[in-house]
Structure 1
């Protein structure tokens, strides 16, 4: 069996490789890839492995970007410190989802599941699995979010949407910022949030910011028809509404 690891932390990769080799001496780890930039060309240039262990957060972004760029036909076992990605993971050939720190017995169960699927027409089994997990995805995209599940230390907590001041994208990561100024990483793009939020309460200001109406403290004219925003809590960088979006933004605020 040929395995590829997508993991940007060297110690974590070595630990996982050691667990796999103790459990199954015969598999070969073909490559350890730490970024989306490395993984995409590797998959394009090499035959498909039998199995991929994939960390969700790589050095240059979310590993789901790999599956948007390359058709991955082999099964995938996701490894992550976050538990809110499970549904999205099962949409890209995932057969298991292991939370860090990874335990040998969990890897053993995942490998056994892979072997059982492989021996019972893997392609057909995965097709049925994808149909099962795609069905419940339709409704959440059409409904309005009432809360967001975020990681807080070692715990997972719920943040009601009423407590959200804005969503800010920085270097490929989207942060939820509360009115109390607390920041949490979430597994949503700003594009996805446009479909999940109440459009009367939230506005997509630019490529980096979606803001709650109560977080807009002041609006000032800016160069060439743009608008500069003063937010509460303050953002680390200036936030500007483009000239194209300024009319819609003014209408949203009833200006």
Structure 2
């Protein structure tokens, strides 16, 4: 199969290429398109590939704009740093998405899903235009949790999600408010918590922390490409971001 990658981060695009070759070495990447402008020109001059790996948030726009210009019939695997909940609609309709950094097992499953569409020579079972319209209208906002119930001296207390600065995993899971209040969470893992949060506001920094974008005081880059995020007072936590996650964090933070 011939495939195209639409991704504006060079390192992420290269990493994705390597993982594709690992899990599906019969796929040939015919082009890596680093911007929306480049993609518009490429699709105007070239035949549609068998498969597209498509980032959503690009440096010069949103990749959904391509669907306003071209009718793309091939399967599309969307890759995203933080829009995973809004994109659940795509999974139901047979086109997959991958959350960055891309997991090889998930990549393999997504490719096999698309391969069956290509080999059967059937159209992808998805109405892209309708899904894009639904996303723009914000039909998925109800997926996010509005408050968390915590126990304080045998009483249940509601904490609004907008008041939460970060979630932290130690021996137990905790949430911290912007005021510095600390509560124990009745969740087994941070993965469970992450599924309930708006990914535009909250970022899974590492295994220990999920942080709110408004809780960030500063970000310090290091020579090894890692980052250290300092949270605002009264918390003043320092949260490490790995080299692999640094590009996606930057894109999430700088918008």
Cα contact 2:17–2:29 (8 A) shared by 1:
yes
Which structure 2 residues correspond to residues 179-190 of structure 1 after superposition, within 5 A?
A: none
- The aligned residue for residue 33 of structure 1 is 33
Corresponding residue SS for 1:126:
coil
- The aligned residue for residue 43 of structure 1 is 43
Say which one has the larger Rg.
Answer: 1
Aligned residue among 136, 148, 152 for 2:202: 152
Cα contact 1:90–1:133 (8 A) shared by 2:
no
Name the CA distance, whole Å, in 1 between partners of 2:40 and 2:49: 14
Unaligned 5+ runs, structure 1: 159-184, 187-255
Distance verdict in 2 for CA 1:135–1:65, change over 3 Å: closer
Cα contact 2:86–2:135 (8 A) shared by 1:
no
Asked if residue 85 in structure 1 is aligned to residue 86 in structure 2, the reply is yes
- The aligned residue for residue 20 of structure 1 is 20
Corresponding residue SS for 2:79:
strand
Distance verdict in 2 for CA 1:132–1:58, change over 3 Å: closer
Distance verdict in 2 for CA 1:133–1:7, change over 3 Å: closer
**1:140 Cα shift?**
6.5
Name the CA distance, whole Å, in 2 between partners of 1:104 and 1:132: 30
Output the TM-score relative to the length of structure 2: 0.50
- The aligned residue for residue 61 of structure 2 is 61
**1:73 Cα shift?**
1.6
- The aligned residue for residue 125 of structure 2 is 126
Name the CA distance, whole Å, in 2 between partners of 1:135 and 1:61: 17
CA RMSD of aligned residues (A): 4.0
**1:121 Cα shift?**
4.5
Distance verdict in 2 for CA 1:76–1:120, change over 3 Å: same
- The aligned residue for residue 219 of structure 2 is none
Higher relative contact order (CA 8 A, sep 6+): 2
Give a deviation string over 1:69-98, Cα, whole Å, max 9, x none: 22212110000011243157579x861011
Output the TM-score relative to the length of structure 1: 0.50
Cα contact 1:78–1:94 (8 A) shared by 2:
no
Unaligned 5+ runs, structure 2: 147-196, 213-250
Give a deviation string over 1:120-167, Cα, whole Å, max 9, x none: 4421x515x7699699889966x99x9793332328899xxxxxxxxx
Query: How many aligned residue pairs are there?
Result: 157
Distance verdict in 2 for CA 1:64–1:135, change over 3 Å: closer
Distance verdict in 2 for CA 1:94–1:11, change over 3 Å: farther
Cα contact 2:67–2:129 (8 A) shared by 1:
no
Distance verdict in 2 for CA 1:140–1:156, change over 3 Å: farther
- The aligned residue for residue 102 of structure 2 is 102
Give a deviation string over 1:10-31, Cα, whole Å, max 9, x none: 1100000001111222211011
